[in-house]
Structure 1
Amino acid sequence: MKVLRLGSLFFRIHLGAMLITLLAIAVMVKLGFWQIDRGQEKQMIIDRYTAAETYSQITLENLVDLASAPDERVSLRARFHPEYVFYIDNQIYQGRAGYQVLALASNASLGEILIPVNLGWIPAGQNRTDLPNVDVPSGTVEVFGRVRVPAESPFILQAQEFVANTWPLRIQYPELAKMREQLNLPLADFMVLQSPEAEIGFVREWPVVVMTPHRHYAYAVQWFGLALAAFIIFLVASRHKPKRTGKDSK
């Protein structure tokens, strides 16, 4: 233990307590900057979403570009394949559990490429072993909405295995690359969130971001405030009042 003097103040520094405090401060400051980075990312998403004002036609030539253009507005005259329907599990809407219905659409100009289209949310039945029945739109329909590029390595509790002979197929997350490989389906590298304005589909409410940039910035301020509080508490707890000698008391 070491006594440190700063002007007229004395502090008794305990090395272990100091290291723990510095570590805690470093972690909280890092979390604060992480929240700032997340806020900036969310703002970029919002700006990108707002900037995409017109619909572009999905073509064989722009398939690769669209895979790196999330939130782009796209449209396609296509036919759905009712034999290929995915139910994305554990989707909550207004407090009720259900699924998001992912169907596959094709267009003659795209060759064999299938476009995954999220048609929206449906409620789950009383018994999870029985999947609800849905009517996938038939004939040629207009698909239009936003490009969504699912994460390649999502956080899921258990690795997914796709069995091709069990349709409709319940999945935890649309891992397109894995679905393409295991099911031997020529899927595009992105999917389309069917617009709420479209006549076909189910319940469709697609939030741009789950948490706004200002909320992230508020959390950053809280983390920085906690770091400052930890430093102040350490200083107060370490403050030492030396004993006055008889000579000093005269």
Structure 2
Amino acid sequence: MLVVLAIGIMAGRWQLGRADQKIILANQISAMAAREQIDLNAKNWTLSETEFRPVRARGRFLPNEVVWLDNRPSLKPQTGQTQSGFYVLMPFLLDGQEKRLVWVNRGWAPRNNQDRLILPSITTPKESVVIEGIALAGPGRVLELGNQPNSQASPRIQQNLDLTYEAGRMVYPQLPFIIRQNDPDEGDGLSRIWPVATTGVDRHYAYAFQWFSLGAAALAFWFTTGFMRYRNQGKSSS
């Protein structure tokens, strides 16, 4: 009983902590988003200077280096159901005398459920463009089994993006964050309806309730069986 009770309490508290983290993150993003937009072409920015801040950048995409991050579901507004898909990550070469790269999460694209190697059709401007978005430490991580994927594979379909790994193989210096692009739909085949940071908070609360209920059930079972055993012993002794 004590083991089950301890597990239930610890797991429930962990779920509540995850919910609190998401709420704090959402508040941080809201506060930083209200600050002045950063021009990434101005200097060599750091993550601490830019995280959660609105940014803009002028340059051109490098479509030959595109990475398709798998297992990124998205909610369809029309049906309310989730659909499997990719985050499309692409390096962006900044204009200027000192060439620098920044990775851009261009948006979400649906996945072919029959063959994951049949990639959705997207368009990429060839000329220099200005993009806007939010600076983030990364595109978010999902569970990954195995070693770092081979960057020479084509197409590059993988679970996560390691900025340190990418910086070691790219020709140009790389900024230590990504841009989550927020530009409106431009007919490029990508969706940029991003989930809010508090997505999943209700699910964490529900899981916490289940774990606490498990602990309470173990305590109630122990008390009930112990009381019945005590009563039966009393009857036997009389």
1:171 is the counterpart of 2:162: no
Q: How many angstroms apart in 1 are the aligned matches of 2:169 and 2:147?
A: 13
For 1:213-241, what per-residue CA distance to the aligned partner results, in whole angstroms no more than 9, with x for missing partners?
35433433442233222112101101112
What is the match of residue 29 of structure 1? 9
TM-score of the aligned structures, taking structure 1 as reference length? 0.75
Given that residues 79 and 107 in structure 1 are in contact (C-alpha distance below 8 angstroms), is that contact kept between their aligned partners in structure 2?
A: yes
Q: How many angstroms apart in 2 are the aligned matches of 1:47 and 1:146?
A: 15
Q: How many angstroms apart in 2 are the aligned matches of 1:214 and 1:167?
A: 39
1:102 is the counterpart of 2:84: no
Given that residues 75 and 144 in structure 1 are in contact (C-alpha distance below 8 angstroms), is that contact kept between their aligned partners in structure 2?
A: yes
What is the match of residue 195 of structure 2? 207
Aligned AA for 2:182? S
What is the match of residue 57 of structure 2? 76
TM-score of the aligned structures, taking structure 2 as reference length? 0.78
* Cα distance, 1:49 vs structure 2: 1.8
For 1:35-70, what per-residue CA distance to the aligned partner results, in whole angstroms no more than 9, with x for missing partners?
121111011111012112242222434234247x2x
Return closer, same or farther for 1:208/1:168 CA change in 2, 3 Å cut-off.
same
What is the match of residue 103 of structure 2? 116
SS in 2 for 1:116: strand
Alignment of 1:189-200 (within 5 A): 189-197=176-184, 199=186
Answer with 1 or 2: which has the greater Rg.
1
Given that residues 83 and 168 in structure 1 are in contact (C-alpha distance below 8 angstroms), is that contact kept between their aligned partners in structure 2?
A: no
Return closer, same or farther for 1:53/1:200 CA change in 2, 3 Å cut-off.
farther
1:50 is the counterpart of 2:30: yes
Given that residues 162 and 182 in structure 1 are in contact (C-alpha distance below 8 angstroms), is that contact kept between their aligned partners in structure 2?
A: no
Given that residues 75 and 143 in structure 1 are in contact (C-alpha distance below 8 angstroms), is that contact kept between their aligned partners in structure 2?
A: yes
Name the structure with the higher strand share.
1
Return closer, same or farther for 1:61/1:187 CA change in 2, 3 Å cut-off.
closer
Q: How many residues align?
A: 223
For 1:60-103, what per-residue CA distance to the aligned partner results, in whole angstroms no more than 9, with x for missing partners?
34234247x2x322111222223322222233334444322212
Gaps of 5+ in 1: 1-20
Aligned AA for 1:118? N
Q: How many angstroms apart in 2 are the aligned matches of 1:98 and 1:66?
A: 31
Task: Name segments (4+ residues, structure 1) moved above 6 Å.
Answer: none
Aligned AA for 1:177? T
What is the match of residue 220 of structure 2? 232
1:220 is the counterpart of 2:208: yes
Q: How many angstroms apart in 1 are the aligned matches of 2:45 and 2:185?
A: 23
Gaps of 5+ in 2: 77-81
Given that residues 185 and 192 in structure 2 are in contact (C-alpha distance below 8 angstroms), is that contact kept between their aligned partners in structure 1?
A: no
1:85 is the counterpart of 2:66: yes
Q: CA RMSD in A?
A: 2.9
Q: What fraction of aligned residue pairs are identical, expressed as a percent? A: 26
